[in-house]
Chain A
């Protein structure tokens, strides 16, 4: 089964770049990697999704190495409002399409 692991927490300062890595050793061939952001008492919100190499949108970049066993979410120039929990999500097409979230990384952005 796809098992995803992330660092529990990380601190940063406003204006810095934050990189969060998710390990998904058993990712299946057809699986995409998706990252979500969650604020307290709210549902997760989509940030970015990718299959391989690099994907960039207006809020983040996602780096996926060739073996796809990990992925790194990059948040450029964070602000206080980026303080949240970030989750990676991987599907497991080898296990009946079971979806597996990582444990989440709590990012604290300090002034």
Chain B
């Protein structure tokens, strides 16, 4: 158990819909990362937040957005869903020192949310 929690575990929805995935980081971790894992694209970095502010951005679509709240939990919002958005979505957290680079942070991954778009 990494200490990172994600809800829901599974989500089935239809094309065109909007969903919200939730992540609670490990106690004391200030940074949250979101990843998408699909069979054809592998693990793709989407976005990172540090203490409520966006820190780094990866291959996140404009239909997707995220935020980190004052209590440090994070939500990933996926809208206008397409079949190709079906994937495992992972959240990870790290201590992330303010002066460091993301690549130096040891990340602890949650169990993931499996999204199926029908």
- A contacts, CB < 8 Å to B: 30-34, 36, 41-46, 49, 87, 89-93, 96-101, 103-104
Contacts and interface: CB of A to CB of B under 8 A. Distances in A.
A102 to B, nearest CB: 8
Interface in B21-41: 33, 35
Contacts of B56: 96-99
Interface string B88-110: 00101000000001111011111
B101 A43 contact: no
Contacts of A89: 103
Nearest to B103: A91
A28 B2 CA distance: 29
Nearest to A100: B45
Per DSSP, chain A at the interface is: strand
Contacts of B107: 34, 36, 44, 46
A46 B108 contact: yes
B42 interface: yes
Contact of B111 (A42, A93, A101, A103): A42
A44 B90 CA distance: 9
Contact of B57 (A32, A43, A98, A101): A98
Interface residues of B, number: 26
A91 B102 contact: yes
B101 A104 contact: no
A99 to B, nearest CB: 4
Given A87-B43, A98-B45, A101-B43, 6 more contacts: A31-B103, A36-B107, A43-B112, A45-B109, A97-B55, A101-B42
Given A44-B43, A46-B107, A30 B112 contact: no
Contact of B90 (A43, A93, A98): A43
A43 B2 contact: yes
B112 to A, nearest CB: 6
Contact of B103 (A41, A45, A46, A99): A99
Given A42-B111, A43-B2, A87-B43, A97 B101 contact: yes
A21 to B, nearest CB: 17
4 smallest A-B Cβ distances: which pairs?
A91-B103, A43-B109, A97-B56, A101-B43
